[in-house]
Chains A and B, each alone.
Chain A
Amino acid sequence: MNVRRPHHRVAVSLVVMAFGASAATLPARLARAQGGTPAQVTPPSVVTHVDAEYPRSALATRRHADVVLALTVDVDGHVSKIDVIESGSKELDEAAIVAARQWTFVPAMRAGKPVASRIRVPFHFAPPAPPPELVAPAPTSEPEVPPHAATGPREPAPSRPPAGGPDEVEITGKPNPPSRGPSDFRLAQETLAAAPHATAADLLATAPGIFIAHPEGEAIAQRIFLRGFDAEHGQDVEFKVSGIPMNQPSHIHGQGYADLNLVIPETVRSIRVVEGVYDPRQGDFAVAGSVDYDLGVEERRSRVKVTYGSFNTQRVLGIWAPEGQAQETFGAAVLRRTNGFGDGTRGATSGGVLGQYKLSLPSDITALIHIGAYAARANIAGVLRRDDVDAGRVGFYDSYSDPSARAQSAGTSRTQIGITFEKKMDDGARFEAGTWLYFASFRARTNFTGYTERSRVEPTWVGRGDLVEQSNDDLGIGGQISYRSQHFHPLHDVSLQYELGASVQTHNISQAQNLLMMPQNQTWDQRDDADVKQSDIGTYADLDIAATRYVRLRGGARADLLFFDVDDKLGNFIPAFSQKTYIQGFRRTASGIAAGPRATIEGLPFSWLKISASYGEGYRSPQARTLEEGEQAPFAKVKSYEAGMTIKDGDRMSLTAALYETDLSYDLAFDPTTARLERIGPTTRRGFVGYFVAKPAPFMNVALSATYVHATLDSPPVPTPDNPTPAFVSGQALPYVPPLLLRADVGFAKKWGVVMGKELAWRAGYALTFLSARPLPYSQSSPAVFLIDGTASVRRDFLELSLDILNLLNAEYADTEYAFVSNWQTTPIPSRVPARHITAGAPRTILASLTVWL
């Protein structure tokens, strides 16, 4: 069929199937119904798709319509035959066919061999809607067709289409959630897989403006820098994994603590990163932005991966991904052990399981069951004074030999389950409801300052080591519910859709902080001991208005009620020298409401150009323990502004550029003396971001980003007893955040041909990361950092050999820097002037892996 593309791309409110969902073969269903055990077929997955265009000739009617096509995908992944199963109209059918003919796939696989398949692809046409997003499915998106379990018939795997015709596979999936501006980034699998990533958190480094550090070892959450925010362990970024919130409110180690180690990187299908607060679904901690991990395993074959490499790192990964099941259905388990780099103070042992099962229920309801568990224990090397490193008193990758320094460690665990139900109405509306439960434990012993602390309980106790022990147990339960309406047409050329939603979560938190004395782990001071009950009830409304094909407005509002009940057992502290006239303790309650609008307006003057501007207000909840009785919870309020544009040439190239500003009513910064976050005052970030994604050749994909930020403190820092009148100048730089961050992810994947009867394929890629000099307190700056990570792999049949190299140039760089007072007894007379401290970034790390595909 030879159909010309229309000159005017019109309103493609197409619900492009992202093919992340389940698939089913009709023969398989028949076989299952008859009690047979069919052979399993992995459905084809989309490599490139082209949006259908609303035909000019159909504009007169401006009606919504569905077209369902049956595509035959040959063994090369091309569409060889198209049939119309459900017709929308002649024009719409043709538009759908034109688009579908340009799609390419990874072909369906049976027993590891490509087979032809026949799939159903529904298109939804709506006149005023803009083009769909590029990338893969996301958890908040809208299922067009309920998934079905899928298996293939039991028969020998053909190397070309079987004589009886291709397997019939019904593809279902989710459309991409509507864009919220230029900084609504969707990281596709091919971008994520271009370079090696040690953890799921490290995957985020592919997003513009994000740098990930691991200053506290492998059992404590990553430290994330996002577009001028030092988001610490998650205070400024809302994280969700398959819809389950990962941020832990009022965590003793840092507000919004989010440990992403639970996520096994090989199970991440795509990531949506929204930098800014423009989506009403973004809740607590979405200050710098939000991150949604979409889990799924695209290649439907189980596998075992064994890794060994530098520092005696050993890792065994098993993934169960049965053919014929939805990509969301998988099970994965991982065990890892390493001695860590340096002088033996970074050893770690960890393991986890992660699994999901997607199933179809009666009445076109689909359900996704999620379960995950992770536990880790790791030693922590801690910080080093820069002057000690420079003077050779301690090695860059070493730890202080002091027993209190050597006693640093962390042990954490998290177990979570969740289930989400989705129902698609006949009129196009969608209903979704889900619930989740998690329990997370945390115990860390860290010493940033050496020997500077004095016991509060017994003031004569001093110099016993500032080994801060923190514990935090959090039982969280919650859920969300949402209804997205059908499209309404109140006026000519105007389309309207709304979504109403609510989310709830309640946490029962028990936390404590003590000082420990080595080597017997004796407690020599108590700093905190509290039980916290915290609830968050949020509601939102979201409107999607398309007025003509040129303009689209998305936005709404969100409001959250937060309630805190704090039993502070050490409150109203009675000093040792005071007469005891009451019983120690301070129980209090507080609450507050945070509300704010979010909106994005888009202009589409041309099919290849999208101009948008966004505004949004978000919030971060306060640490419960800081609240007073009856206090209106002092949320940190954020205002985000952004304007930019996206130039897109189909799936070949996309270029995004945006200017942004973020104003935060009060910021938090890490205080090493308390090993937690403390207030520093209001801050502002202004900058620009550029993001370029291209596929210059079928075997190559490129993602480049550049982010600049000017982050400033807007008022004098909070006075302290040490410093009652802190120095301040207008435009004072926020320390530690890299003003300029450049990132490139380049991946190659190609088949080498057939070797000894089996296909040989190779894959390679690299990532370049450049961080400009980071400003430090007191007019100092850290040196710029340039890192290269690379990967290469060869696969033949069921064996794959891969080599990952992190920090290829073996750059010696500081992962993070701090400035504070410490005394590590490395000089006869201790200094009390704040000094630079560092945690070392990992040196060159080489990991070799053997994967056996089952």
Chain B
Amino acid sequence: MARARAVERALIARALLLMVAMVSFLASCIESPQSPVDYDAVVVPQGNGSAAIRGWNVTLTHADVALGPFYFCASASGSSTLCDAAVAEITSVALVDGLALGQAPLGRVHGLSGSVQSAAYDFGISWFDTQTSPTPSPVTPGPGHSMQLEGQATNGATGFSFTANVDVVPQYQGQNAFPTAPAMANVTSSAFRLEVRFNPADWLKQLDFDDIANQMATSGSSVFDIEPGSKEHAAILVGIKNLAPIDFVWVPLSTP
């Protein structure tokens, strides 16, 4: 009799434990509209490094570009004042070869599933809330620049080489260099790949190569160096920010 009672009690205890476990399991499986996602981001340089710019054939021979960090936002504007909370992000800076023929790794995108409508990002030089001045990442080329470009420009028999140390610097403390940029996607899972596409040769489209040629003729130098603060540097920034900004493309991964 006593044994039967003990068995009965044990059964009841097990049943109760099972019930608690089931309810606990159910409790942890409640609907939620967003979930964490984590996927690769790659750089996909476009073009072959050449561009025709107002009669000049421009060919880049070297393009080291620092990219990152990136913040992807649900708001239509990626301004830091409207994107305090991002949907996804790449919190690293990568030094990439802008003339590479294939894809190159950029980093991992961490974030949440959901809609992306804009992006805010830097070219290796950031000015975070807690920094008193714009600060380059250790991986920036130079070091300390957003990008280093080298190339040649020819126009008939005239030609010269040029180099450019480009600094894409945030305008205000707490803002990204690109506070807003278009980026549209609906990321539903981690089965995506983010492709960051750009053509560094297109960034030079605002440069006045005729003027540069005249300056070189005056100075007699064989290589034209573009440094931050110069009007040529400002022209490249216009190209980067306005004429040929980065494209963000989310590519769904096909399931095997």
Docked-complex contact B20 and A740, CB < 8 angstroms: yes
Q: Return the chain B residue nearest A462 by Cβ.
A: B174
Given A460-B172, A827-B91, also A454-B81 (CB < 8 A): yes
Give me 5 A-to-B residue pairs in the complex whose CB atoms sit less than 8 angstroms apart, sorted by A's number. A725-B74, A727-B115, A730-B31, A781-B28, A833-B89
Any B CB within 8 A of the CB of A630: no
Docked-complex contact B112 and A778, CB < 8 angstroms: yes
Closest 5 CB pairs of A and B: A739-B27, A463-B129, A733-B30, A779-B35, A727-B33
Complex Cα spacing A60 to B76, Å: 79
A residues 730-756 with Cβ under 8 Å of B?
A: 730-733, 738-740, 742
Any A CB within 8 A of the CB of B126: yes
Find chain A residues with CB under 8 A from B75 CB.
721-724
Docked-complex contact B126 and A829, CB < 8 angstroms: yes
Find chain A residues with CB under 8 A from B28 CB.
739, 772-773, 775, 781
Beyond known contacts A463-B128, A830-B129: 13 more, CB 8 A cutoff: A454-B174, A463-B173, A708-B27, A721-B75, A722-B74, A723-B85, A725-B115, A727-B33, A730-B31, A731-B31, A829-B91, A831-B91, A833-B87
Docked-complex contact A777 and B24, CB < 8 angstroms: no
- Interface residues of A: mostly helix, strand, loop or mixed? loop
Q: Return the chain B residue nearest A725 by Cβ.
A: B115
Find chain B residues with CB under 8 A from A708 CB.
23, 27
Any B CB within 8 A of the CB of A673: yes
A729 partner, pick from B32, B69, B137, beta carbons under 8 A: B32
Any A CB within 8 A of the CB of B114: yes
B residues 18-39 with Cβ under 8 Å of A?
A: 20, 23-24, 26-28, 30-36
Any A CB within 8 A of the CB of B254: no
Question: What number of A-B contacts does a CB cutoff of 8 Å give?
Answer: 138
Find chain A residues with CB under 8 A from B73 CB.
722
Any B CB within 8 A of the CB of A823: yes
Q: Return the chain B residue nearest A781 by Cβ.
A: B28
- Interface residues of B: mostly helix, strand, loop or mixed? loop
Complex Cα spacing A796 to B34, Å: 60
Any A CB within 8 A of the CB of B71: yes
Any B CB within 8 A of the CB of A650: no
The interface size of chain A toward B, counting residues with CB under 8 Å, comes to 48
Find chain B residues with CB under 8 A from A777 CB.
32, 34
Q: What are the interface flags for A387-416 relative to B under an 8 Å C-beta threshold, 1 for contact and 0 otherwise? A: 000000000000000000000000000000
Any A CB within 8 A of the CB of B130: yes
A residues 703-739 with Cβ under 8 Å of B?
A: 708, 710, 712, 721-725, 727-733, 738-739
Any B CB within 8 A of the CB of A546: no
Find chain A residues with CB under 8 A from B84 CB.
452, 673, 722, 821, 832
Docked-complex contact B32 and A721, CB < 8 angstroms: no
Any B CB within 8 A of the CB of A436: no
Complex Cα spacing A308 to B88, Å: 49
Docked-complex contact A772 and B112, CB < 8 angstroms: no
A residues 447-477 with Cβ under 8 Å of B?
A: 451-452, 454, 460, 462-463
Docked-complex contact B34 and A779, CB < 8 angstroms: yes
Find chain A residues with CB under 8 A from B115 CB.
725, 727
Complex Cα spacing A772 to B25, Å: 8
Find chain B residues with CB under 8 A from A739 CB.
23-24, 26-28, 30
Docked-complex contact B32 and A832, CB < 8 angstroms: no
Q: Nearest-CB distance from B133 to chain A (Å)? A: 12
Docked-complex contact B31 and A832, CB < 8 angstroms: no
Q: Return the chain A residue nearest B26 by Cβ.
A: A739
Q: Nearest-CB distance from B135 to chain A (Å)? A: 10
Docked-complex contact B86 and A832, CB < 8 angstroms: yes
Docked-complex contact A729 and B173, CB < 8 angstroms: no
Docked-complex contact B36 and A780, CB < 8 angstroms: yes
Q: What are the interface flags for A816-854 relative to B under an 8 Å C-beta threshold, 1 for contact and 0 otherwise? A: 000011010101111111100000000000000000000
Q: Nearest-CB distance from A819 to chain B (Å)? A: 10
Complex Cα spacing A769 to B28, Å: 18
Any A CB within 8 A of the CB of B131: yes
Any A CB within 8 A of the CB of B61: no
Docked-complex contact A452 and B36, CB < 8 angstroms: no
B129 partner, pick from A452, A722, A740, beta carbons under 8 A: A452
Complex Cα spacing A462 to B127, Å: 11
Given A451-B130, A833-B87, A833-B111, also A728-B27 (CB < 8 A): no
Find chain B residues with CB under 8 A from A725 CB.
74, 115
Q: Nearest-CB distance from B33 to chain A (Å)? A: 4
A781, A823, A828: residue with the most chain B Cβ atoms closer than 10 Å? A828
